[in-house]
Amino acid sequence: MANKYKRILLKLSGEALLGAQGHGIDGDILTRYAEEIKAVQREGVEVSIVIGGGNIFRGVKGATEGMDRVQGDYMGMLATMINAMALQDALERQEVKTRLLSAIRMEAIAEPFIRRRAVRHLEKGRVVIFGAGTGNPYFTTDTAGALRAIEVEADVILKGTRVDGIYDDDPEKNPEAKKFDVITGDEVLKRRLSVMDLTAFTLCRENETPIIVFDMNASGSLKKIVCDGEDLGTTVVWD
């Protein structure tokens, strides 16, 4: 059976790597994520990844505590590179070929982001990790994920979170919260649901890039969605 999606952009949050720890990277979670990604890549799916840096540093938080916003955002970009390098190592320990591309030039550890090069790596079956966000302050890694997905013409953005989809309220605080299986982009905006920041969401809407929000910690969920076509999580569609 053919895979449902040929090329994907997986967006992971840095906070997800914390695990039960209060800071840093949980090695067990990193290994599990690498195994999930490997299972999809082995089925012939072209995988690109954007990962946040919130487990190490958040630029916006730094700005609210008196740090210059631009300085804080660049520090946040470096934090994403730490996570990207850790994920690259975890994947390569699973014998998965990878390439790390950075929006900020740092040749000793990553290739510079060049769209055609990124697409070529994907066509050759390598997992491509995009680091350093967009390379510009004032933009989140959600926006970086949307931008890179559009640039490499990914079929879908898969946002891996701690919950199994989009709800009308925070399910971790409200057990009565209702989950959506499918929701339109307009409904997300109308209800002010926090799926992605507005810039990222607008990019996806203008380019009609579908978004699936799912629980990355549920074993096998990535493969079930991408390869088996199961309707897990919540799909954001465009009218």
The answer to whether residue 85 is domain-embedded is yes
In a domain, residue 161? The reply is yes
pLDDT tens for residues 209-228? 999 999 998 999 999 999 99
Residue 1 lies in a domain: no
Q: What does the radius of gyration of the chain's CA atoms come to, in whole angstroms?
A: 17
- Residue 86's CB: how many other CB atoms inside 10 A? 17
The one-letter amino acid code at 227 reads: C
Write out pLDDT tens, residues 11-70.
998 888 887 777 789 899 999 999 999 999 999 999 999 999 988 886 566 556 778 889
**201 falls within a domain:** yes
CA distance 232 to 214: 7
CATH code (residue 30): 3.40.1160.10
Output the pLDDT for position 162.
83
**What range defines the domain where residue 158 resides?**
7-237
Q: Is residue 2 part of a domain?
A: no
SS3 content of the chain, % helix, strand, coil (to 5): 40, 20, 40
Per-residue pLDDT, averaged over 180-207, amounts to 91
Q: Quick check: is 151 in a domain?
A: yes
Q: Is residue 126 part of a domain?
A: yes
Percent of the chain with pLDDT over 70: 97
Say how many domains are in the chain.
1
Q: Is residue 23 part of a domain?
A: yes
Residue, of 142 and 16, whose pLDDT is higher: 142
Whether 207 contacts 143, CB under 8 Å? no
- Supply angle C-alpha 113, 115, 120, rounded to 5: 105
For the full predicted model, state whether its pTM sits above 0.85: yes
Contacts 24+ apart (CB under 8 A), 149-153: 149/9, 149/48, 149/204, 149/209, 150/203, 150/204, 150/207, 150/209, 151/115, 151/118, 152/7, 152/9, 152/48, 152/115, 152/118, 152/119, 152/122, 152/128, 153/7, 153/119
Amino acid (one-letter) located at 158: L
End-to-end CA distance of the chain: 29
